[in-house]
Structure 1
Amino acid sequence: MKKALLALSVFTVLSCTSGEQSDEVIEEVKDINVLVGTYTGRESQGIYQFSFNPVTGEASEAQFMAESDDPSFLALSEDQNFIYAVSEVNGGSIRAFSRTDTSMTFINEQSSGGVHPCHVAIDKTGKWVFAGNYTSGSLAVLPILENGGIGEPTQIIKHSGTGPNKERQEGPHVHSVNIAPDNKALFVPDLGIDKVKAYYFNDSTGVLSPGKDMEVLPGSGPRHFTFHPNGKYAYVLQELTGTVTSFSYLDGDLTRLEEYSTLPKGFEGKNSSADIHISADGEYLYASNRYHDSIVVFKIDTSNGTLEQVSHHSVLGQIPRNFAISPDGNFVLVANQESDNVVIFKRDTTNGKLEPLDKEVKVSMPVCLVFADN
């Protein structure tokens, strides 16, 4: 895909008699890369990548980068030189890869400390990886080595309990691991026990200690979690009820605020909410709904963290398990697991709404998107 060129024209009026002179300065806008985690149950072989133009919204075809079994969630190091991927097979593991803008190289693999890891995150120091294991309801801390690889888990924590939904909440099910912006705490939504488990974090030793847990409504099934850019508010998305719960955050602790539906008023069909993100300007919150197959947009009142539903947008595919907002905030890319496509939307920064661009990237079972600017 060709790189876009921005033309910046500077006009200088020389005199009434000599006329106008135009000096045109050409600024090159580079494509950025988008990494794609997948399920490998059909045609996918692992991790893919495509280039994306942040001016036009054009995207290249997806290129195969690294073989891996069910790399359904990815975490990118701050320097963007390393990728950490879950692998949901053979008991569960985290795999480390080095990367450039054109290649990925496997470094090593360690146990995730449980079964079926579905989420991975890196602390703010870049020294520790957190793994969340769905089936075993556990989480683990793993050290990052000097070569970018990972060491064996230094701490494994197993949750306990059940919820009222006997089919989905027969035991604990950790669904994500989320480090606070100040690196003081880790928040772990557990779908099986209707809690956001909280742990204080010592980033020198990598040790987690019990914090102030937050309960959500019974049968909600908390899944994914995000912080507001101002660091004062946080939001958890409930998979089973399609709701968002808001919290205030201060010095390692959450305080529960309000709850909001992600679905249209009066909707009574099948739904399973999946992913949640906030625009970098802090003005809008987005969440994905599977089966309803939509992205919901909320306006955020940044003075108190409250939400107001703005609109719903079809994802033009099936089962939007994950999505990502471009670094400049101008686009939203949606990974539709069952229709094998990543659909590109233009984002209106003035009202938060999405407009489809009739552009997509074909990838088998895409379930995680990560922007990388190198």
Structure 2
Amino acid sequence: MGNRYAAYVGSYTYIGNSKGVTILDVDPEKGTMSRRKEIRVNNASYVSSSRDGTRLYSIADDGIVSFRILPDGDLERMGKATIRGMRGCHISTDQANHFMFVSGYHDGKVTVLRMEEDGSVGEITDSFYDKGIGSIAERNFRPHISCSRLTPDEKFLCITNLGIDQIKVFHFNKDTGKIKMADVIRCELESAPRFLRFSSDGKFMYVISELKNYLSVYSYDGSDGLPKFELLQTISTVGKKSSNVNAAAALRFSPDESLVLCSNAGDNSIGIYDRNAESGLLTQRVVLPVSGEYPKDIGMFPGEKFIYSVNHETSTMTFFTWVPDKNYFYMHTPPLKIDQPNCCALVKLPD
């Protein structure tokens, strides 16, 4: 019997008919997903699974909702925790699932919470409201924290602030859950760094910038107790023929991290890049349309033969076959209707 997977899609509920979190059955051999049921969560703007795939966490208007992922992929509600602020937009956890980090776009706040032994979310251990003024009055005139992640050695917490074009780096105390400012990476003016991810070997950080529409590659070294980042490369998220109105959106690795995928709103496309594991550098292979509007999240199925796109504005998910020898992908099944989808967490179920 092969591996079994489920997917969980978070949606807004203030418009449309979504209840919040949609559970999908995944066929990794065909590159398709099918709707199973919905779970009620108000305005699930982001969902994330624990590293071991046994828990699912969802943003809600009033905090964080925790679920136990059952062996068949169904969800069992565990509880709710407050972040004492406006609704978050991103969730990440440490490797051991001892702490959670919640990013706040609307109030420019990052919140650190301790996890309970059963995997539910506990009390706040620390928080930080960013300050500063951006350069574009209509878009990023004030702090908007859109992503918070630990470095792979878990010494530092990095937060992207697309409102003031900075990535702030904090010392992270794994015992107390406290954070303390360590450094600031000042990005290009009006670039709007949106999301970041680290390679699993801990050597490289990848950042997607919403307004300049490029990916940035940084080297990382925290061996002497201080965070050292060096910008190695910036590379466009779009092709030579792209929309004049564009906003880089999602950033993902392929399962084996040999590829980096990004998405573009406006251009409504996915870019695929080769990643050199030694140098960390990227080479663009192809940028193609997703047959939907505002691909807010994207990803690859296990096996790296298929791609999915979460299209917020058209309320669809679209699915593609990746043909690496010819550098293109094509849609192989009709779109799946999901109202106002924001993101997708694909989880391997227990054997």
TM-score bucket of the superposed structures, by smaller chain? over 0.9
| Letter of the structure 2 residue corresponding to residue 194 of structure 1 | D
Matched with 2:20 is 46
Give the 5 Å matches for 1:7-86. 28-40=1-13, 41-60=15-34, 62-86=35-59
Indicate if the aligned counterparts of 2:203 and 2:219 stay in contact, CA closer than 8 A: yes
| Aligned partner of residue 262 in structure 2, secondary structure | strand
> Alignment identity in percent?
25
Q: How far off its partner does 1:351 sit?
A: 6.7
Q: How far off its partner does 1:254 sit?
A: 2.2
Aligned-residue RMSD, C-alpha: 1.8
Matched with 2:185 is 214
Indicate if the aligned counterparts of 1:187 and 1:197 stay in contact, CA closer than 8 A: yes
Q: How far off its partner does 1:58 sit?
A: 3.3
Matched with 2:124 is 153
Give the 5 Å matches for 1:103-114. 103-114=74-85
Please report the TM-score for the alignment, with normalisation by the length of structure 1: 0.87
Flag structure 2 segments of 5+ consecutive residues without an equivalent: none
The higher radius of gyration belongs to 1
Matched with 1:95 is 65
1:298-319 alpha-carbon deviations (Å, 9 max, x no partner): 2223332222222111111111
Structure ranking higher on relative contact order (CA contacts 8 Å, 6+ apart)? 2
| Letter of the structure 2 residue corresponding to residue 257 of structure 1 | L
| Letter of the structure 2 residue corresponding to residue 85 of structure 1 | S
2:291 to 316, 330, 333: 316
1:336-366 alpha-carbon deviations (Å, 9 max, x no partner): 0111111111223557643321343221111
Matched with 1:242 is 213
* 305-314 or 335-344: bigger deviation: 305-314
Give the 5 Å matches for 1:254-333. 254-265=229-240, 267=242, 269-333=244-308
* 342-351 or 284-293: bigger deviation: 342-351
Q: How far off its partner does 1:126 sit?
A: 0.8
Q: Distance in 1 between matches of 2:201 and 2:194?
A: 22
Indicate if the aligned counterparts of 1:84 and 1:97 stay in contact, CA closer than 8 A: yes
Seen in structure 2, the aligned counterparts of structure 1 residues 351 and 163 have a Cα distance that, compared at 3 Å, is farther
Flag structure 1 segments of 5+ consecutive residues without an equivalent: 1-27
Q: How far off its partner does 1:258 sit?
A: 2.2
Seen in structure 2, the aligned counterparts of structure 1 residues 58 and 151 have a Cα distance that, compared at 3 Å, is closer
| Letter of the structure 1 residue corresponding to residue 313 of structure 2 | E
Indicate if the aligned counterparts of 1:142 and 1:152 stay in contact, CA closer than 8 A: yes
Q: How far off its partner does 1:127 sit?
A: 0.6
Is 1:172 equivalent to 2:172 in the alignment? no
1:320-351 alpha-carbon deviations (Å, 9 max, x no partner): 00112223322211100111111111223557
| Letter of the structure 1 residue corresponding to residue 268 of structure 2 | D
| Aligned partner of residue 34 in structure 1, secondary structure | strand
How many residue pairs were aligned?
A: 343
